[in-house]
């Protein structure tokens, strides 16, 4: 699934070369290099505070790299790139807009006619099982439902790039599994590029075509693994020997960095 040799002819969507980010004296990212091709689902896996979210914020243009080159679609990131979907850990819904208006927000901010995108927004909400809640206030929804709304909002304009910063980190385990399944289906059907920040090994393995493992701060990539798992995955994939082997390898990374000590 990793960029095969012939795929290298197509320039990657995201290129990071020697990206360094300092906050005052704190080195958050240390000469990080990474290429992500179109259509890949790449998880950035690492412990809390390792700089993976910082890297994502740099991609979105919310933070700026101190050194190094960071391009999305061949353009250096200075302002937030166009055609980008963003999902954050906390759903960041606007409490004062109903569900449908929240999903339509990117249209409004892009200066598009909301009416033209209303059918699309409704279709997305139906797809994630929220067709009955178009006009509910966010406050009336559960955490999982709110995060589905946030995902619909990110997908509204069919962005070729979807960036997700621990989007399911605040959800209970069952809801998280369900949203993993839903997200994976959405990605299979739409084929956009996804960069997914998480600290959950099973989540990263279940969702991704490739996992980049971050070291603790300052963030560097210590392992970059193309996953040899079927493209169409069910939860049962987690019980396969391949999955177990990959999980072992990820855990090995964390043990080597002293982040986990087995009993």
Shortest distance in whole angstroms from residue 98 CB to another protein: 5
Q: Is the peptide bond before 218 cis (omega within 30 degrees of 0)?
A: yes
| 75 is an interface residue for another protein by CB under 8 A | no
In the complex with another protein, the residue whose CB is nearer, 45 or 93, is 93
| 84 is an interface residue for another protein by CB under 8 A | yes
Q: 89 to 108, contacts with another protein by CB under 8 A?
A: 89-90, 92-96, 98, 105-106, 108
CA 258 to chain centre: 26
3-class SS of residue 229: coil
Q: Please tell me the chain's helix, strand, coil percentages from 3-state DSSP, rounded to the nearest 5.
A: 40, 25, 40
**Residues in contact with another protein, shown as a per-residue x/- string from 105 to 124 under the rule CB under 8 A:** xx-xxx--------------
Shortest distance in whole angstroms from residue 229 CB to another protein: 30
Considering only 21-29, 37-45, 133-141, 233-241, which stretch makes contact with another protein by CB under 8 A?
133-141
In the complex with another protein, the residue whose CB is nearer, 33 or 142, is 142
Inter-residue contact 150 to 92 (CB < 8 Å): yes
3-class SS of residue 28: strand
Considering only 17-25, 60-68, 112-120, 219-227, which stretch makes contact with another protein by CB under 8 A?
60-68
| 64 is an interface residue for another protein by CB under 8 A | no
| 17 is an interface residue for another protein by CB under 8 A | no
Inter-residue contact 151 to 186 (CB < 8 Å): yes
**Host H or E run for residue 152:** helix 143-155
Give the contacts of 187 (CB within 8 A, at least 6 positions apart): 41, 162, 194, 207
What's the CA gap between 87 and 153, in Å, rounded? 9
Q: Residue from 82, 185, 231, 248 that binds another protein (CB under 8 A)?
A: 82
Exposure letters 122-138 (e unless 16+ CB within 10 A, then b): bebbebbebeebbeeeb
| 133 is an interface residue for another protein by CB under 8 A | yes
Considering only 42-50, 84-92, 215-223, 243-251, which stretch makes contact with another protein by CB under 8 A?
84-92
- For residue 161, the cross-strand partners are 84, 193
Q: 191 to 230, contacts with another protein by CB under 8 A?
A: none
Q: Which residues bind another protein (CB under 8 A)?
A: 57, 60-62, 79-80, 82, 84, 86, 88-90, 92-96, 98, 105-106, 108-110, 132-133, 135-140, 142
């Amino acid at each position: 699934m990793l960029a095969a040799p012939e795929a290298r002819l197509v320039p990657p969507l995201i290129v990071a070369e020697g990206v360094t980010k300092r906050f005052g004296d704190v080195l958050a990212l240390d000469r990080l290099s990474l290429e992500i091709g179109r259509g890949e689902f790449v998880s950035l896996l690492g412990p809390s505070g390792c700089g993976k979210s910082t890297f994502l914020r740099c991609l979105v243009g919310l933070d700026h790299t101190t050194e190094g080159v960071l391009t999305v679609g061949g353009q250096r990131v200075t302002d937030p790139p166009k055609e980008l979907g963003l999902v954050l850990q906390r759903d960041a819904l606007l409490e004062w807009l109903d569900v449908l208006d929240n999903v339509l927000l990117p249209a409004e901010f892009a200066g598009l006619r909301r009416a033209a995108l209303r059918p699309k927004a409704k279709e997305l909400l139906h797809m994630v099982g929220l067709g009955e809640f178009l006009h509910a206030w966010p406050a009336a929804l559960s955490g999982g439902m709110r995060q589905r709304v946030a995902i619909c909002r990110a997908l509204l304009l069919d962005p070729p790039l979807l960036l997700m910063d621990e989007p399911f980190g605040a959800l209970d385990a069952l809801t998280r599994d369900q949203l993993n399944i839903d997200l994976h289906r959405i990605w299979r059907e739409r084929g956009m590029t996804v960069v997914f920040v998480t600290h959950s090994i099973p989540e990263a393995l279940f969702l991704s075509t490739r996992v980049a493992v971050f070291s603790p701060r300052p963030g560097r990539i210590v392992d970059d693994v193309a996953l040899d798992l079927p493209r169409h995955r069910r939860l049962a994939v987690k019980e396969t020997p391949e999955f177990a082997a990959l999980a072992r390898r990820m855990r090995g990374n964390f043990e080597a960095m002293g982040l986990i000590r087995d009993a």
